[in-house]
Amino acid sequence: MDILAVIRDRAGEYDCPVCQRTLDGCRLTLLKDEDPLYTVQVGCARCGVTFVVVLKVRRDGPRPARQRRGPLRAPRPPIGVDEVLDVHELLRSHTGPLTELLLRR
């Protein structure tokens, strides 16, 4: 899967942990692909800070058939919003060097 395209698509929904502005248009580099874990370096387009996030892709199993008939919905994006938010909150509340976060785990 093209994880970078997925992140880029949703980057505008999140703020840079440093300058608090939107991450829309950020630079993305895939550092490690260990499906379902992806380590991605994110570079803020506004202030230029770079940080690393580890995303776990959640795959939904087959869904039960819906009772109501209607147009098919677009498939849900593979990244759980909660997971992205967890990373975001972690970064937001962290004041030390970002590398510290990585070493702690």
Q: Please say which residue, 44 or 84, places its beta carbon nearer to Zn ion.
A: 44
Question: Please, what sign has the CA dihedral across residues 83, 85, 86, 92?
Answer: positive
Q: Distance (Å, rounded) from C-alpha 63 to C-alpha 75? A: 11
Q: Please say which residue, 43 or 77, places its beta carbon nearer to Zn ion.
A: 43
Q: Report in angstroms how near the CB of residue 49 gets to Zn ion at its nearest.
A: 5
Q: Report in angstroms how near the CB of residue 70 gets to Zn ion at its nearest.
A: 41
Q: Please say which residue, 44 or 55, places its beta carbon nearer to Zn ion.
A: 44
Q: Report in angstroms how near the CB of residue 48 gets to Zn ion at its nearest.
A: 7
Cβ atoms 23, 17 nearer than 8 A: no
Q: Please say which residue, 64 or 97, places its beta carbon nearer to Zn ion.
A: 97
Percentage helix, strand, coil for the chain under 3-state DSSP, each rounded to 5: 30, 25, 45
Q: Report in angstroms how near the CB of residue 58 gets to Zn ion at its nearest.
A: 27
Please tell me whether residue 90 adopts helix, strand or coil conformation: helix
Binding site for Zn ion (CB under 5 A): 16, 18-19, 44, 46-47
